[in-house]
Amino acid sequence: MSLEVIHYPHPTLRHKSKPLARVDAQLKMWVEEMFDLMYEHEGIGLAANQVDLPYRLFVMNVEGDPDRPELERVFINPVISQGKGQSAMDEGCLSLPGVRAPVTRNAQIRVQAYDLQGNEIDEQLTGMEARVVLHETDHLDGVLFTDKLQQAELAEVRDLLEEFEIAFQSQQESGEAPTDTVVAAKIAELEAARV
Q: Which residues are annotated as a binding site for Fe cation?
A: 93, 135, 139
Exactly one of 91, 136, 153, 165 is catalytic; which is it? 136
Asked whether 107 and 137 are in contact (CB, 8 A), the reply is no
> Quick one: which of 140, 168, 144 has its CA closest to 54?
140
**What is the rounded CA–CA span in Å between residue 96 and residue 72?**
23
Rounded-to-integer distance, Cα 116 and Cα 15, Å: 23
176 carries an active-site annotation: no
- Check if the beta carbon of residue 194 is closer than 8 Å to that of residue 20: yes
Q: Read off the DSSP letter of residue 17.
A: P
Q: Where are the alpha helices (DSSP H) in the chain?
A: 25-40, 127-140, 151-174, 180-192
Return the bridge partners of 148, or none: none
Positions annotated as catalytic residues are: 136
